[in-house]
Chain A
Amino acid sequence: MRRSFKIVIAVVIAVVVSGARAEAKLRVVASIETLADLTRQVGGDRVDVTSLSRGYQDPHFVEAKPSLVLALNRADALVYVGLDLEVGWLPPLVQQSRNGRIQRGQAGNIDASSSIRPDDIPAVPSDQLRAMGDIHPLGNPHYWIPPKNARAVARLIAARLTAIDGAGAATYQAELAKFETRLTAKEKQWEAAAASVRGTRIVTFHKSWSYVARWLGLEEIGYIEPKPGVPPAASHTAQLVELMKKSGVKLVIVESFYPNTMARFVADNGHARLISAPSNVGATPAIKTYFDLVDAVIAALRGA
């Protein structure tokens, strides 16, 4: 009797659990808001997406709050930028999540960088990497703005959502197709709108606009940070200003989460204009989607 009772309880638990999973939306956690939005775009109403960080945060330095473990614990999938962008905060959270579905090697562990070709992989010996500053050995992780990369990431997400939730395959394919159609149209608009800035020489605060520069034909001349993650000294700033004057730099771009005091000084003295540009969905309340983000970036570049 006692044994039969245990069997009944176990079966009930199994049925309830599997039934609940079938009814519920797929829970996806993204490390940044842009990836959260891309997941919503291709997941439609079959996914419930949350972001671990806000768009007005520096994604390198997100606090590894224990509360984030809760979201990861319940997630069916985790989408992250990769290339070690989140290495300072995400790995211990994933380990503490106790969630096998999102561990490395599982379908629910979606490294978005695996869908793109990373730039700026340092070609220096590994024991000399840190002498170059806090660079990312696997490549530049600030890749999500150009449409080519957003398209690749969206395709990867759709493929993985399909693998996890086969019943939603048709939805994911349809939403992906819708996203790509819109992206193709917008890409033409963005490139046409940005034609006026093609060839413009720029200086940026951090080396996080390289992919955008390559997409839109901007020419990176220098960086306010002498090396990634290293704050500028006066000598570097003076050198940079001189270089800007000689090179005819027209634009200084700083991400909106960085303080722009130094950037303003460099821009003013280098006779360039300063843009405090969004780099992520959620950077301002008006930027709710990937399309809003790129619209805002293009508008900022043109406005300058």
Chain B
Amino acid sequence: MLSSVLYCLWLQQQSPPPVPPAPPVAEASAPAPIAPLEAPATQATAPTPAPGSSLLNPALSFILDTTFGYYGRDAGNFAALGLPPAGDDPSPVNEGFGVQEIEIGAQAAIDPYLDGAVFLTIPNLEGIEVEEAYLVTTSLPANLQLKAGTFRSQVGRNNAQHLHQQSFTRRPLMTGLLFGIDGFRGPGAQLSLLLPLPWFATFYGEAFSIAAPDDPAIVSTFGGGVRSTPGNLTYAAVLEQFWELGESTSLLLGGNFATGRSWNCMGAVPCDPAVAVGPRSYLYGGDLYFKWKPPNATRTYGSLQWTTEYFARTLADGGPTEAAAYTEPVVQLARRFYAGARFDLVGIPSGPNLPRRYGYAAALTFAPSEFSRVRLYLQELTGPGVSSVTVGFVQAEYAMGAHGAHPY
């Protein structure tokens, strides 16, 4: 009964008064003649679209990431590190020139109650994937929001980002090792609640059917078992909080927990999925994002953003607890230049699947405009008992189409 009353209240919310038309526009005064330098020709009024024209099309965007580089002079050394590249990292088997990723995005309002988005990706020219395709509600009652489809989990900060939202050419080592080669994403549903607190705090609850990993040789945190079995679903909970420490500085803190069924073929070739059902896994950790950026940043173009994440995985039934972390400060040096450094630490604690490894990365980004950028990326990977490997890439990124918003 209570729910039906609330539903009625919600329906009332969805039936606003009709939007009145805009009042008559005041007559334009005669414009002065203008002779701007290199200004485009203009027309007095917006063009009238033809019936059935492209006005109903979603906002389309195409983002292309090209790279040139390598994973060390000796490919065997890189493989010996046991640090598989993430799905949208440059391909380790196609060094030299490469197309790291092509992303095709389409976003639109579905109806007055839903927004929708589809992001298709072609990583390293190896076939098309659905990176995300979801709908999200815009006006559920009680500050709730529902997201459904296939999408990136809210767990962690890097995991939720697409390649072009990152400040480095490769993802942190932690992401591929603990979240999965393609990140923690898959078909599922998410219900989030904006908590009624004086500061921003949102709680996310998620359930996913995570697919088995493409590479059966690795131990995967999630993806084991028959996915329709409720006990084999992956469940996640995230509490995200944000504080403004001043007009220029702010802090975003995430607390994360996820549990599912691990995938472990234990080296069997070919791998039998029925055997690959590993023990229950627990993924937990925190992410911290600090930002300093004056509100009138266009005066100086100086800013700092600093991300740090630590995540651990525990496998049940006496399995190991293994963890990894990274920290990455990125400084805006000038209007078009950014410099970043990242330190990766894998194996704290270490275990059979996460041996101790260190990563030292630096990136210098030149962004000629909002829609293109060129990046130099260097990374030194090392660890006890293995040879060090230097990874280096020049990455160029181009965005065509709709102007995407800048996520915080």
Contact = CB atoms under 8 A, between A and B. Distances in A.
Interface in A19-77: 53-54, 56-58, 61-67, 69-70, 73
Given A10-B1, A101-B16, A116-B25, A132 B36 contact: no
B298 A92 contact: no
B112 A124 contact: no
A108 interface: yes
Given A6-B1, A207-B39, A210-B34, A107 B20 contact: yes
A30 B38 CA distance: 33
Contacts, number: 224
B130 interface: no
Contacts of A67: 199-200, 242, 244, 250
A10 B13 contact: no
A66 B25 contact: no
A166 B33 CA distance: 44
Given A58-B298, A61-B298, A123 B200 contact: no
B148 to A, nearest CB: 15
Interface in B344-379: 369-371
Given A88-B406, A98-B139, A103-B112, A65 B42 contact: no
Nearest to A113: B22
Contacts of B200: 66-67, 69-70
27 contacts: A7-B1, A7-B2, A7-B5, A17-B9, A58-B296, A58-B298, A66-B240, A70-B194, A70-B200, A73-B194, A89-B406, A98-B137, A98-B139, A103-B139, A104-B109, A123-B40, A148-B28, A152-B22, A152-B23, A160-B19, A207-B36, A207-B39, A213-B34, A214-B31, A219-B32, A239-B37, A257-B299
A148 B22 CA distance: 14
A87 B403 contact: yes
Interface stretch (A134-142, A285-293, A294-302): A134-142
A135 B298 CA distance: 18
Interface in A90-119: 90-92, 95-96, 98-101, 103-108, 114-119
A92 B408 CA distance: 10
A106 B16 contact: yes
B405 A138 contact: no
Given A57-B296, A214-B32, 18 more contacts: A58-B298, A62-B295, A63-B293, A63-B295, A66-B200, A66-B240, A66-B252, A91-B405, A96-B194, A98-B138, A100-B14, A103-B139, A114-B22, A120-B40, A152-B26, A219-B33, A240-B37, A243-B37
A123 B19 contact: no
B115 A66 contact: no
B298 to A, nearest CB: 4
Given A10-B6, A213-B34, A119 B242 contact: no
Interface string A217-261: 111111100110111000000011001000000000000011100
Interface of A: 3, 6-7, 9-11, 13-14, 17, 53-54, 56-58, 61-67, 69-70, 73, 84, 87-92, 95-96, 98-101, 103-108, 114-124, 130, 132-135, 138-139, 148-149, 151-152, 155-156, 159-160, 162-164, 166, 207, 210, 213-215, 217-223, 226-227, 229-231, 239-240, 243, 257-259
Determine which residue in B6, B37, B336 has the highest number of CB atoms from chain A within 10 A of its CB, and name it.
B37
B398 to A, nearest CB: 10
Which 9 interchain pairs have the tightest Cβ spacing?
A: A100-B139, A222-B37, A155-B23, A10-B5, A66-B242, A66-B200, A58-B298, A123-B43, A148-B26
A162 B20 CA distance: 9
Contacts of A155: 23
Interface residues of B, number: 75
Contact of A107 (B18, B296, B297): B18
A57 B298 CA distance: 8
B407 A64 contact: yes
Given A6-B2, A152-B23, A220 B293 contact: no
A244 to B, nearest CB: 10
Contacts of A65: 242, 244, 250, 408
Interface string B42-61: 11111100000000000000
B23 A139 contact: no
A98 B407 CA distance: 17
A11 B6 CA distance: 10
Contacts of B333: none
A134 B369 contact: yes
A99 B14 CA distance: 10
A121 B43 contact: yes
Contact of B23 (A66, A115, A243): A115
Contact of A95 (B35, B138, B242): B138
A231 B335 contact: yes
Given A61-B298, A117-B25, A222 B36 contact: yes
B229 interface: no
Contacts of B295: 53-54, 56-57, 62-63
Contacts of A207: 36, 39
A138 B242 CA distance: 34
B94 interface: no
Contacts of B242: 65-67
Contacts of B41: 122-124
B29 interface: yes
A231 B335 CA distance: 9
B127 interface: no
A234 B47 CA distance: 36
A135 B408 contact: no
Contact of B298 (A14, A219, A259): A259
B144 interface: yes
A64 B406 contact: yes
A164 B17 contact: yes
Nearest to A134: B370
B210 to A, nearest CB: 25
B387 interface: no
A267 to B, nearest CB: 16
Interface string B102-114: 0000000100110
